[in-house]
Amino acid sequence: MRKLTVYGGRRLFGEVPVDGAKNAALPLLAATVLTDDEVILENVPDVGDVHTMIALLESVGKRVQALAPDVYSIRTERGLSGIPPEGLVRKLRASFLLLGPLMARVGASQLPLPGGCPIGVRPVDLHLKGLKALGARIESQGGFWCARAARLHPAEIHLDYPSVGATEQIMMTAALVPGRTVISNPAQDPEVHDLARLLIKMGAGIMIEPGRLIIEGAKTLSGTVHTVIPDRINAGTFLIAGAIAGGDVTVRRCQPLHLEALLSKLDELGIIVQEHVESVRVISDGPGSFWGGRVEARPYPGFPTDLQPQMMALLSVARGSSVVKETVWESRFAHAAELVRMGARIRLEGATAFLEGVERLSGTQVSVNDVRAGAALALAGLVAEGTTVILDRDEHIRRGYRDLAGELNRLGAAIIEETSDEKEVVSPEVR
């Protein structure tokens, strides 16, 4: 367990660089099972979910070597196994991405339903639909999904919903199926396109068109070198931190185009946003200096669901009323109850939250149930009177942020992070 103690009332100033995107790195790592050759991935973030995926790759026969803190070499060390350990799979939602690629390589794979954040039922039906269309035989046995295929074939696959995971699963598997596979209504997230770029470098042919992806598969794929794109969710988190706390914050090494839904919303609320080639600057006077508004989390290019909790924290101290609607994950409002404990005025009706802004939140003890909720509570603590104690029993925050407390401290926040044995990890000077 980790505990963050946030001392509120400090404005933020300065610059913060963004690491590689966790949500891009995970499928990129999974794609390395498609070849025995060496794949070198650069700008890989040092976060818990990445460590779990690396352990999964090693468990099925890959050798993963750190060439630098954010650079990894991955190649096959021994014969691949199609059955990764259940304990590791259940730690990580993205582990299910290995089902198709392992089946394509060794003929059969078996995985239990994966774990991750408790933010919804997270069905895998679209994953299975795509694999079946490619010729896989899918069976459910005692809580495990088994995929087998003597021979896969190209297919035309329509996704009823633009699922990121299903798009990535089908795209990776089809990359090893000679012929032309078409995915209609795919997810168009930057992380999906980053995976496409890696697969192209490995020898697959991929065309991205409006409303569909075309994959020309190959019999074998080869090694390559690839750099993970910047993390738009982490970039957005720090931009919202600057907006809620007040001050002048610049996020560097990001791609503003990937942040357009957030940046346009911040501008709409009355927060100063300045875009540059690879950076974004936010200037704010803090709570009460911006207006409330309406936020609706939707698939890309809509507003990211992974920034919805942080935006709810921001709107809690906006002037006037706000509405937040979640259309991606049906259980992604657990943070609302914790914000209410801090004095926020939030009313939930199904997948919609209605907010009335307050002048100031109050420090208290709150708990984290998923990675982005943890970030939202940390941001709320920045503007809470007194001290906010955030209990992160399952260390969710570290799954998606390398050093959230440290980065915020470098901008001027006052946060002490401790492990369960009370060993201090981050200890800024607190005046």
Annotated active-site positions, please? 117
Query: Could you identify the residue written with the tokens 């669901």?
Result: 305
Q: How far is CA 222 from CA 169, 199, 218, 240, 256, in A?
A: 19, 9, 10, 41, 32
Q: Token pair of 228, please?
A: 């993970």
Question: Token pair of 192, please?
Answer: 């999906």
Q: Provide the 8-state DSSP code for 165.
A: H
The CA distance from 42 to 227, in Å, is 4
Q: What DSSP assignment string belongs to 175-208?
A: TTSSEEEEEES----HHHHHHHHHHHHHT-EEEE
The SS3 call for residue 133 is helix
Cis-peptide into 84, omega within 30 deg:
no
| CB-based burial, 70-93: b 16+ in 10 Å, e otherwise | bebbbbbeeebebbbeeebbebbb
Do the beta carbons of residue 284 and residue 308 sit within 8 Å? no
